[in-house]
Amino acid sequence: MSLQIEASQAERDVSVDLTVAAGETLAVLGPNGAGKSTVLGMLAGLIRPDRGRATLGDEVLFDLPGAWLPPHRRGVALLAQDALLFPHLTVRANVAFGPRATGASRAEAASRADEWLRRTGTRAFADRRPSELSGGQAQRVAVARALAAEPSLLLLDEPLSALDVSVAAEVRGTLADVLTGRTTVLVTHDALDAYLLADRVAVMHDGRVVEEGPTRQVLERPRHPFTAELSGLTLLRGVRTAEGLRTDDGMQVRAGDAVAPAVGSPALAAVRPSAVRLVAPDDVAARSADASIPATVTALEPQADLVRVRTDRLDALVPPAVVADLRLHLGARVALHVPADAVTLYPA
């Protein structure tokens, strides 16, 4: 069933307009406090917008001021960061909760529960208490519970962020299996979730949707700095030149295959930090075909086994050894070498 929402809430300063086609997964990306969870709350019926309208298929979820469908009559299941399995019920009874609540007989609910436990690979835990499950097991049971309710719309609120990295991959696999063909809104701040689970993404910032489109297009050709930040890219804004792009403050980068706009027209460039090379500012031997861009280090952020070196120009993602060799510190001067294949150029 297709979903449409156009609503605003003054207290949280959230105002959105989103559409999800039937069977499609939309990822809502954005930093903390961007209003992503508020949107889910509105759809689930747990947060009441001041005004607006949402429809799911033919059903009007709300049309405010005026119509308001309570949560239990919406057919909208919500899966949160924590599994929130009912601690007083067995795993099977948890999954059977939705079917029972909507009128299925005891036997029918139990068989539906077993079917979903099987599909999420948790059948073996059916008779356990939630307190006897690991985080990943509990979250997979929560997926089963949400889907056993046969919702018309599934809402996922950072479903993997409370899990260890290895466990998250496993649960992500389970989700990828069950989301196919199911109308879903997935809130996340992880670009990987969007890549693997979503057909389209909407990027929120300060309570507004600032960018929306097919996942790859939005994440690989970001139009806003925070979208670039989410996918780990550095966004440059400037004018198309014969070789690449010149930013407003005069920095030049070369771009590879230039399918981008005509020379002289406004353009954007997304730069992959992992391809940017850092050298000492006076290192003549290191000079190459790439232009050498002088820069000043503004931050050093560990990222897995690499370090993101933020400068006043571009970010570079380098091994810790480079940071040590160049004796990088806040305010240190460096030279950036940007190979053409690290730059994607597209119209502004």
Partner 1 sequence: MIAGARLGVPRWILVVAAVGALFVLLPLVAMALRVDWAHFVPLITSPSSVDALLLSLRTSLVATAGCLVLGIPMAIVLARVPFAGQRVVRAIVLLPLVLPPVVGGLALLALYGRRGLLGGALDVAFSTPAVVIAQTFVALPFLVLSLEGALRSAGERYEAVAATLGARPSAVLFRVTLPLVLPAVVSGAILSFARALGEFGATLTFAGSLQGVTRTLPLEIYLQRETDPDAAVALSLVLVAVAIAVVAVAHGAGERVQPWRARRRSAISTARTAA
Among 69, 84, 167, 169, binds partner 1 (CB under 8 A): 84
Binding of partner 1 at residue 87 (CB under 8 A)?
Answer: yes
88 counts as binding partner 1 under rule CB under 8 A = yes
Helical H segments across the chain, by residue range:
36-44, 91-101, 106-119, 135-148, 165-179, 191-197, 215-220, 225-230, 320-325
Task: Give 158-187 as a DSSP string.
Answer: STTTTS-HHHHHHHHHHHHHHHTTS-EEEE
Q: Should residue 46 be labelled a site residue for partner 1 when binding is judged by CB under 8 A? A: yes
Interacting residues with partner 1 between 62 and 81 (CB under 8 A): 70-78, 80
Binds partner 1 (CB under 8 A): choice among 10, 22, 101, 192: 101
H/E stretch holding 294 reads strand 292-303
To the nearest whole angstrom, how small is the minimum distance from the Cβ of residue 78 to partner 1?
Answer: 4
Q: What letter represents residue 251's amino acid?
A: M
Q: How far is the CB of 104 from partner 1 (least distance, A)?
A: 10
Segment near partner 1 (CB under 8 A), from 117-125, 144-152, 195-203, 254-262?
Answer: 144-152
**Contact between 347 and 263 (Cβ < 8 Å):** no
Query: Cα–Cα distance between 141 and 65 in angstroms, integer?
Result: 37
207: closest CA among 21, 25, 4, 31? 31
How large is the angle between the packed helices 106-119 and 91-101, nearest 10 degrees? Answer: 120
List CB contacts of 73: < 8 A, sequence separation 6 or more.
none
Task: Report in angstroms how near the CB of residue 196 gets to partner 1 at its nearest.
Answer: 24
Choosing from 130, 238, 244, 273, the residue that interacts with partner 1 (CB under 8 A) is 130
Question: Measured from the CB of residue 18, what is the shortest distance to partner 1 in angstroms?
Answer: 19
Among 97, 116, 125, 226, interactor with partner 1 by CB under 8 A: 97
- Minimum CB distance to partner 1, residue 143 (Å): 13
For partner 1, which is the closer residue by CB, 45 or 52?
45
Q: Which residues contact 127 (CB under 8 A, 6 or more apart)?
A: 90, 91, 92
Size of the site for partner 1 (CB under 8 A): 31
Question: Which 3 state secondary structure label does DSSP give 274?
Answer: helix
8 A C-beta contact, residue 34 and residue 209? no
Distance CA 267, CA 246 (A): 9
Q: For residues 77 and 297, which CB has a smaller minimum distance to partner 1 in the complex?
A: 77
Q: Which two tokens stand for residue 147?
A: 């889907």
Burial class of 193 by CB neighbour count within 10 A (0 to 12, 13 to 18, 19+): buried
- The CB-of-74 to partner 1 minimum distance in angstroms stands at 8
Q: How far is the CB of 257 from partner 1 (least distance, A)?
A: 48
The reply on whether position 146 binds partner 1 by CB under 8 A is yes
Given 129, 189, 224, 237, the residue binding partner 1 (CB under 8 A):
129
The two three-digit tokens of residue 339, written as one number: 């190979």
Nearer to partner 1, 132 or 325 (CB): 132
Binding string, residues 15-44; x marks residues near partner 1 by CB under 8 A: -----------------------------x
* Single residue of 39, 54, 56, 149 touching partner 1 by CB under 8 A: 149
Contact residues toward partner 1 (CB under 8 A) are 44-46, 70-78, 80, 82, 84, 86-88, 97-98, 101-102, 129-132, 145-146, 149, 151, 155
